[in-house]
Amino acid sequence: MKNIENGEFQVVEETIIWQDRKHHLWFPLSFTKYMVGDGRLYINTGFLSSREDECLLYRITDISLKRSLAQRLFGTGTIELMSKDQTTPVIFLENIRRPVQIKRMLSNLIEKERMEKKVVGRDMYGAAAHVDGESEAEDREEG
């Protein structure tokens, strides 16, 4: 194995599960790209200056699908993701192809990531300390 020196990097193989672009009508004529892989959702926007946002899948708390009449006619839709990520609490995957299938796939991947990382619902909402504190208070009152 080669030693990595300062300023060098080694490419680790990524597993890309899904990728798409924001569509206009049914054409993917946009500089907004979406990608899911390695337990993360990546959103790359911009042409002259670009920005890449990343959200860990297990931090996504809610998924909803919105489709206007025009989106249904052209086979696209917008998926809205609510997350516990501070930089991007609401993520929109706008005008993507096959939105119903993508929503189901994301939901399954999110659950898989949570199970692998052993993250339960109350850990996500920060309620673990609150619930434990209540049970201790109740124990003191009874005792």
Which carries the bigger pLDDT value, residue 122 or residue 120? Answer: 120
User: What pLDDT does residue 54 have?
Assistant: 94
The answer to whether residue 74 scores a pLDDT higher than 60 is yes
- Using one digit for the tens of pLDDT, what is the confidence trace for 51-67? 999 999 999 999 999 99
Could you tell me the strand order of the sheet in which 51-56 lies? 16-21, 33-37, 40-45, 51-56
CA distance 33 to 132: 42
Which carries the bigger pLDDT value, residue 88 or residue 64? Answer: 64
CA distance 18 to 9: 25
Average pLDDT over the chain reads 83
- Using one digit for the tens of pLDDT, what is the confidence trace for 105-120? 999 999 999 999 988 7
User: What pLDDT does residue 40 have?
Assistant: 95
pTM of the predicted model, to two decimals?
0.77
Q: What is the mean pLDDT of residues 2-28?
A: 78
Contact 91, 41 (CB under 8 A): yes
CA distance 55 to 86: 10
User: What pLDDT does residue 125 have?
Assistant: 57
Report the candidate in 77, 97, 85 with the shortest Cα–Cα distance to residue 18. Answer: 97
